[in-house]
């Protein structure tokens, strides 16, 4: 049975929000003697499998680290391949997402992308706005530190305009200025390909997330692996700093 055909599994404690750092496309391609673009295409297929698995399992929010703010430093050819792949999926896969009840939300600095991609992204958000089965969040040109800085800047500007008093700023108010405003914090953060770090992903939001690191490269991730990380999560005891009873 393939991962995409794996039946839905009941989990005793289901995370509301799963966030994934999709790592390993390049290594997957290299070990197979394939061009880097083949790894990114296989990674895009893994995204589709994961969205289907999350929907089937009843996860309500899925955030994917699709393109970090640091990815702009990669070779121009790779950046061009990634943006072309993004353009293709925004143009040709959004209708399928909508049919499955998936709402698309995008966070990050979209202004760095070509104008047509910006327009396709906003169109995709609008087309899927009414869907409620799963919210798929794509982090594009996103960096956790930059997110915190822009939130602090917005707070400072609001204080300067007299719209907010400094003593009113608490964690809830600050979170409302982040790019993820209105979203629940991730319960579970998963990273593939053996690396054990957050790499500037949802730094504020992941303060109490459960972290799971997998050795497999992202293109190999399927519904079986998704079930495995849900099982790991269900066995964790989340205390949020409190002592166990």
Element (H, E) at 49: helix 36-57
Q: Is the pLDDT of residue 45 over 80?
A: yes
**Contact in structure between 202 and 180 (CB atoms under 8 Å):** yes
Q: Give the pLDDT confidence of 141-167 residue by residue, as tens digits.
A: 999 999 999 999 999 999 999 999 999
Write down the mean pLDDT value for the chain. Answer: 93
92 is an annotated ligand-binding site residue: no
Q: Give the pLDDT confidence of 85-116 residue by residue, as tens digits.
A: 999 999 999 999 999 999 999 999 999 999 99
pLDDT of residue 237: 81
For the annotated catalytic residues, the residue numbers are: 23, 71
Mean pLDDT of the region 34-51? 96
Q: Is the pLDDT of residue 7 over 60?
A: no
What is the Cα–Cα distance from 147 to 183, expressed in whole angstroms? 14
What is the Cα–Cα distance from 198 to 195, expressed in whole angstroms? 9
24 is an annotated ligand-binding site residue: yes
pLDDT band, residue 62 (cuts 50/70/90): very high
Q: What is the domain partition of the chain in residue ranges?
A: 13-143+220-228
Structure tokens at 19: 């966030």
CA 131, 135, 140, 144: dihedral to nearest 10 degrees? 140
pLDDT band, residue 238 (cuts 50/70/90): confident
41 is an annotated ligand-binding site residue: no
103 is an annotated ligand-binding site residue: no
Mean pLDDT of the region 8-30? 87
Q: Give the pLDDT confidence of 161-217 residue by residue, as tens digits.
A: 999 999 999 999 999 999 999 999 999 999 999 999 999 999 999 999 999 999 999
68 is an annotated ligand-binding site residue: yes
pLDDT of residue 9: 54
Q: Is the pLDDT of residue 3 over 80?
A: no
pLDDT of residue 68: 94
CATH superfamily of 13-143+220-228: Decaprenyl diphosphate synthase-like (3.40.1180.10)
Nearest CA-CA partner of 181 in 131, 221, 147: 147
pLDDT of residue 196: 97
70 is an annotated ligand-binding site residue: yes
What is the Cα–Cα distance from 201 to 143, expressed in whole angstroms? 6
pLDDT of residue 13: 87
**Contact in structure between 110 and 121 (CB atoms under 8 Å):** yes
pLDDT of residue 20: 98
Q: Is the pLDDT of residue 2 over 50?
A: no
DSSP, collapsed to helix, strand or coil, labels residue 40 as helix
Q: Is the pLDDT of residue 8 over 70?
A: no
């Amino acid at each position: 049975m393939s991962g995409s055909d794996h039946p839905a599994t009941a989990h005793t404690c289901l995370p509301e929000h799963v966030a994934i750092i999709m790592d390993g496309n390049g290594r997957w391609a290299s070990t197979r003697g394939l061009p880097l673009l083949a790894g990114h295409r296989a990674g895009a297929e893994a995204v589709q499998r994961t969205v289907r698995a999350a929907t089937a399992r009843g996860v309500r929010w899925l955030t994917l680290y699709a393109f970090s703010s640091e990815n702009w430093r990669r070779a121009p050819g790779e950046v061009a391949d990634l943006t072309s792949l993004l353009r293709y999926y925004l143009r040709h896969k959004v209708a399928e997402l909508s049919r499955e009840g998936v709402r698309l939300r995008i966070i990050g600095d979209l202004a760095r992308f070509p104008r047509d991609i910006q327009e396709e992204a906003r169109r995709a958000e609008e087309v899927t706005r009414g869907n409620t089965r799963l919210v798929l969040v794509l982090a594009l040109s996103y960096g956790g530190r930059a997110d915190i800085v822009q939130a602090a800047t917005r707070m400072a500007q609001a204080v300067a305009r007299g719209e907010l008093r400094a003593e009113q700023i608490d964690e809830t108010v600050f979170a409302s200025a982040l790019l993820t405003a209105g979203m629940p914090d991730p319960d579970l953060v998963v990273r593939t390909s053996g690396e054990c770090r957050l790499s500037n992903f949802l730094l504020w939001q992941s303060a109490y997330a459960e972290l799971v690191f997998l050795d497999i490269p992202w293109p190999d991730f399927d519904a079986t692996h998704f079930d495995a990380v849900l099982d790991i999560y269900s066995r964790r005891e989340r205390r949020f700093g409190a002592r166990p009873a």
